[in-house]
Structures are given as structure tokens and as C-alpha cells.
Amino acid sequence: MTSSSSMASAPLFLAVLLLPLGTSLAQLSTDFYSSSCPNVFDIIKPVVKSAISAERRIGASILRLFFHDCFVNGCDGSILLDDTPNFRGEKTAAPNNNSVRGFNIIDKIKTQVEKACPGVVSCADILAIAARDSVVILGGPDWNVKLGRRDSRTANFSAANTDIPPPTSNLSRLIANFSSQGLSVKDMVALSGGHTIGKARCTSFRGHIYNDTNINFRFAKTRQANCPRRVGSQDRNLAPLDQRSERVFNNDYFKNLVEHKGLLHSDQELFNNVPTDSRVQKYATSTTAFFADFVTGMIKMGDIKPLTASNGEIRNNCRKVN
């Protein structure tokens, strides 16, 4: 008993030791705005809903924004900052340039939220809530979003280039890059299921449809019709990431992988005679299993290095620091 109680006090001792050094512990909570902005969810969801009614893909774009925010120095709204002549943000880093979208919807939400609760709700939290709402509206699982993140005063262009894995990634790179964020192989596979919605540009999947062998031949031919081998004017042509049902958040992404119809090289890496095959199979046959693990992954991803307490700020405008 004596040894177990002294063991139990060790983590507490370490936490107390580390706190003054700025290693703030994640202290997000689902009821963070319950008294300061009780209607925040009711304000955000209708804006997301009308944006998706106007353009269904925008839900996918908002989900991706959240991923690209969290993987670069944590979920701190850094991706939302615009470039200025003396500030280089993350928007033109390779994984983002000509590809991230949805900022105007985040602005619309922020305007509405500021009217109701001025200076209270961070842009990082708005993005977390809007990503959840997008998933739900498109038919995916629901969950309570942890809140209390604050917004960064900085962005990191080079970290955006190195921390977000490119679509050419092999399995070991995907595992390593998610692991750097504290996410497991299981989280990585489940979160990749985010590719059940949305689109990719020819430039993101050209290598896979022309050079790879672990791809269904007819599927490759179909995609090649709108994505020529030669680099050029058609680089931005789009194809659905989920060729079965791009408009609905479901487990079809995994069914595609089992048939070797993943659009990105990185997608098909998850099902390629590798240890992750069995998990892909499981999600392909069980929506329940996929949804449960996706939710776990989203909550873990949302916990990556948040700014809390007096760190960071609550931006007035998501595009610029106060």
C-alpha cells in the first residue's frame, strides 16, 4: 500500500513541477461556455447547415481545416490567419496552398458569435464545433466537443509543411506523423475515414493513378480521364475522395480501400497487405466501429496542445491577431 500511494503521487508531483514552465495541461471541457455563451452551439449549427445547403462540399472543407489546424502547433486557430506583407501564415504551405477552403464560413460564424458573446469564444473552438457539426449534418456520428482553446498569436509556415503528411506518404510515415501528435495507428486509420467526404485535385492523386500497382485498373482508368499524366492546366481538376458516396459521411471510404479504389496513394497504403488491413476490413463492415473510433480520434485530435488559461488570446477577427 505504501509503495502504491507514493507511486500515485508521482504524476501529481511532476505536473506541479512542469506547470510553471508553461507546459499547460489540456484543460478543455464540454461545458466551457455554459455560462459565458450558453447559445454558442445554437448559433453555430444553423450557419454550418445553411453553408452545406448552399454547397455540400463545404462540410468536408471545414472538417479538413480542423485537422490542418490541430496538426500544426495544436488546435489554436493558426490556420485561419491571413498572410500580410510582414506576416507569413500557414495558408500557402504546401498541404494548404490552393486547397484549403471554408474560411468565409468561419468568418460568418465568428460574426454571429461575437454579436451574442463579444470577446468570449475563440476561433479555434469555433472551428472544432463547426467540424463536428459538419460531420453530423452529413450523416456522421455526433459527440460533445471539448472547449476552452484560445487562439494563437503566431502561425508556423514551415511546421505546416513538415507536420501535415502529404498524399505521397507511405504507411510508416503516416504512422510516424500521427504518432508525433500523440495519435495511435488506430486513431490514424479511423481519422483517415474523414475522406468519406470531399474532393481532391488531380495533382494530389496523379502519381497514384498512373504509377501505383495497388489500384483497381478500371478505377485508375476512370480517374485518368479527368486527370492527364502531364502536369499543367488540369492539375486542379477534382475527383471525389469516396467514389461511392462523397456527399454522405459513412464507412464507404473503407469499402473502397478493400476494392483498391482509394483515391490517394496515402489512402491505399492503409490496405496493402499490411498490418492495418484488418482494421480497414473492420470499418468496411461496421459503421458502428468506424463511428466510435472516429469520434475517439476527433476528441484526441482536438486535445493536441491547446492554448489555455492566459496563453494566446480570443481573436476579434479569425483572420488576424488582435
Ligand X SMILES: *[C@@H]1O[C@H](CO)[C@@H](O)[C@H](O)[C@H]1NC(C)=O
Q: Assess 206 for contact with ligand X (CB under 6 A).
A: yes
Q: Please tell me the distance from the alpha carbon of residue 231 to that of residue 93, in angstroms, as a whole number.
A: 20
* 31 marked as part of a ligand binding site: no
Q: Assess 211 for contact with ligand X (CB under 6 A).
A: yes
Q: Which residue number, 13 or 87, has a Cβ lying nearer to ligand X?
A: 87
Q: Assess 159 for contact with ligand X (CB under 6 A).
A: yes
Of 68, 208, 260, 265, the catalytic one is: 68
Residue from 47, 113, 200, 307 in contact with ligand HEM (CB under 6 A) = 200
Question: Which of 279, 281, 304, 311 has its CA nearest to residue 293?
Answer: 279
Q: Please tell me the distance from the alpha carbon of residue 280 to that of residue 241, in angstroms, as a whole number.
A: 16
User: What is the secondary structure of 253-291 as a DSSP string?
Assistant: HHHHHHTT--SSHHHHTTSSSSTTHHHHHHHHH-HHHHH
68 is catalytic: yes
The interaxial angle of helices 103-116 and 123-137, nearest 10 deg, is 110
Residue from 61, 78, 181, 256 in contact with ligand HEM (CB under 6 A) = 61
Contact range with ligand X by CB under 6 A, out of 33-41, 75-83, 166-174, 187-195? 166-174
Q: Which residue number, 34 or 278, has a Cβ lying nearer to ligand HEM?
A: 278
Question: Which of 48, 51, 57, 88 has its CA nearest to residue 72?
Answer: 88
Residue 176 touches which of ligand X, ligand HEM, none (CB < 5 to 8 A by kind)? ligand X
Q: Assess 67 for contact with ligand HEM (CB under 6 A).
A: yes
Beta bridge partners of 1: none
Cβ–Cβ under 8 Å, residues 41 and 126: no
* 120 marked as part of a ligand binding site: no
Q: Which residue number, 172 or 285, has a Cβ lying nearer to ligand X?
A: 172
Place of cell 479504389: 261
Q: Please tell me the distance from the alpha carbon of residue 143 to that of residue 190, in angstroms, as a whole number.
A: 15
Residues 6+ apart with CB under 8 A from 263: 195, 200, 205, 208, 223, 239, 240, 241, 243
H/E stretch holding 61 reads helix 58-70
C-alpha cell at position 16? 506541479
Residue from 23, 39, 98, 111 in contact with ligand X (CB under 6 A) = 98
Contact residues for ligand HEM (CB under 6 A)? 57, 60-61, 63-64, 67, 99, 101, 165, 167, 169, 174, 191-192, 194-195, 197-201, 204, 241, 264, 266
Q: What is the contact surface with ligand X in residues (CB under 6 A)?
A: 92, 97-98, 156, 158-159, 162-163, 170, 172-173, 176-177, 180, 206-207, 210-211
Which residues are documented as binding site for substrate?
Answer: 165
Where in the sequence numbering do the catalytic residues fall?
A: 68
Residues forming the annotated binding site for heme b? Answer: 195
